[in-house]
């Protein structure tokens, strides 16, 4: 052996290492720490999120009359702040420290937007309670270009006598439909919106209402069986 070699005795090294290691019991291994759920504001880095929904002039009076019916669900259920900005003519919704869910702000904006488009508050409030409801809007000219009396007759055909055709489409497809001049708004689930849109497009393209009713009866019976 060379004079400068170092000799290390490892005979009791493992015993010393085992003695120095902390003793972990079975109870300690089963213990799981509990953390409080983060609020929407904390998840966003304590930043306040804001949504603005523009209000057209002709919807000011209905909004004023139904303000409390819109305000209470948003503030009580979703824990959001809401106000009407008269200068910009927009409804402003923002998160608070008590807002439980990140998606609540978008739900509230969709709810207000649905009312602005013409849906009743009793129908639009379903957007706050259910996750699989959507809004879809399109114009008659997106389906077929019509002008003058042809356009007027098309709108009348979509509504039907005393709204019969519109109600039939709504009840058969479990949706809500708003006819606002040449724009059409549909509120419902994804598949039901598709069925209602196809029926409306058939009427726009000139299909007789009786033929559309027959298709809707078949579809509604299938929906009833699926439920």
Q: pLDDT tens for residues 68-122? A: 999 999 998 888 899 999 999 999 999 888 887 778 888 999 999 999 999 999 8
**Region 48-56: what's the mean pLDDT?**
89
Is residue 113 a contact partner of residue 138, using CB atoms and an 8 Å limit?
Answer: no
Q: Is the pTM of this model over 0.85?
A: no
> What is the percent of the chain with per-residue pLDDT over 90, rounded to a whole number?
31
Closest C-alpha among 142, 126, 139, 141 to residue 187: 126
Residue 201 and residue 207 in contact, taking contact as beta carbons nearer than 8 Å? no
- pLDDT digits over 12-44, tens only? 656 665 666 566 565 655 666 777 776 666 666
Paired residues of 53 in beta bridges: 91
**Residue 144: CB partners within 8 Å, gap ≥ 6?**
154, 204, 205
Q: How confident is the model at residue 129 (pLDDT cuts 50, 70, 90)?
A: confident
Express each pLDDT in 139-188 by its tens digit: 988 888 888 888 888 888 888 888 888 898 888 888 999 998 889 999 99
Model confidence at 5, pLDDT cuts 50, 70, 90, reads low
Mean pLDDT of 185-210: 90
pLDDT of the residue at 4: 62
d(CA 91, CA 62): 13
Instruction: Give the whole-angstrom CA distance, residue 133 versus residue 127.
Output: 6
């Amino acid at each position: 052996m060379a004079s400068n070699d170092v000799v290390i005795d490892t005979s009791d090294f493992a015993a010393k290492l085992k003695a120095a290691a902390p003793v972990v019991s079975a109870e300690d291994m089963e213990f799981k720490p509990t953390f409080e759920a983060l609020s929407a504001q904390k998840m966003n880095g304590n930043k306040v999120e804001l949504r603005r929904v523009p209000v057209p002039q002709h919807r000011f009076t209905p909004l004023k009359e139904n303000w409390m019916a819109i305000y209470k669900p948003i503030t009580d259920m979703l824990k959001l702040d809401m106000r009407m900005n008269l200068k910009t003519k927009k409804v402003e919704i923002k998160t608070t420290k008590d807002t439980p869910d990140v998606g609540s702000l978008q739900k509230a904006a969709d709810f207000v937007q649905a009312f602005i488009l013409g849906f009743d508050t009793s129908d639009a409030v379903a957007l706050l309670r259910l996750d699989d409801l959507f809004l879809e809007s399109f114009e008659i000219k997106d389906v077929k270009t019509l002008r003058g009396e042809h356009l007027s007759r098309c709108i009348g055909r979509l509504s039907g006598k005393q709204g019969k055709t519109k109600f039939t489409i709504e009840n058969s497809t479990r949706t809500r439909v708003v006819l606002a001049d040449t724009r059409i708004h549909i509120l419902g689930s994804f598949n039901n919106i598709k069925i209602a849109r196809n029926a409306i497009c058939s009427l726009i393209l000139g299909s007789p209402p009786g033929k559309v009713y027959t298709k809707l009866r078949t579809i509604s019976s299938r929906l009833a069986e699926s439920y």
